[in-house]
Amino acid sequence: MGNKNSALPLLAACVLTDESLTVGNVPDIGDVRTKLAVLESIGVATRFTANTCTLNAAAVRDELPDAALSARIRTAALLAGPLLARFGRAQIFRPGGDRIGRRRLDTHLLALQSMGAEIATERDRYVLRTKRLRGRDLFLDEMSVTGTEQAVFAAVLAEGTTTISNAAMEPHVQDVCRCLNAMGASIEGIGTHDLVVEGVPTLHGAHFDIGPDYMEVGSLIGLAAATGSRIRIKGAHPHEHRMTRIMYGRLGVDWQDDGDDIVVPADQELAVVPDFDGTVPKIDDMPWPGFPPDLISIALVLATQSRGTVLIHQKMFDRRLVFVDRLIEMGAGIVICDPHRALVMGPSRLRGERLVSPDIRAGMALVIAALCAEGESTIHNVHQIDRGYERLDARLLALGANIERLQE
**12-36 pLDDT, tens per residue?**
999 999 999 999 999 999 999 999 9
Domain 214-398 has CATH 3.65.10.10: yes
**Of residues 98, 213, 284, 294, which has the active-site annotation?**
98
Burial class of residue 1 in the structure, from the number of CB atoms within 10 Å of its CB (0-12 exposed, 13-18 middle, 19+ buried): buried
pLDDT score, position 123 = 85
Cβ burial 345-378 (10 Å sphere, 16+ → b, else e): bbbbebeebebebbbbbbbbbbbbbbbbbeeebe
**296-353 pLDDT, tens per residue?**
999 999 999 999 999 999 998 877 898 999 999 999 999 999 999 999 999 999 999 9
- When mean pLDDT is compared across 1-5, 19-23, 145-149, 241-245, the lowest value belongs to 1-5
DSSP 25-94: S----HHHHHHHHHHHHTT-EEEEETTEEEEE-TT---SS--HHHHTT-GGGGGGHHHHHHHHSEEEEEP
CATH of domain 4-209: 3.65.10.10
Question: Binning pLDDT at 50, 70 and 90, where does residue 408 land?
Answer: confident
Of all helices (H) and strands (E), which one includes residue 261? strand 261-264
**136-185 pLDDT, tens per residue?**
999 999 999 999 999 999 999 999 999 999 999 999 999 999 999 999 99
Residues of the chain with CATH 3.65.10.10: 4-209, 214-398
Distance, in Å, from the CA atom of 243 to the CA atom of 301, rounded to the nearest integer, reads: 18
Distance, in Å, from the CA atom of 13 to the CA atom of 21, rounded to the nearest integer, reads: 8
Could you give the residue ranges of the DSSP H alpha helices within 272-380? 296-304, 324-329, 360-372
pLDDT score, position 101 = 46
Residue 336 DSSP SS3 = strand
The yes-or-no answer on residue 98 being catalytic is: yes
**How many CB atoms neighbour CB 203 within 10 A?**
24
pLDDT score, position 97 = 47
The model's pTM is 0.92
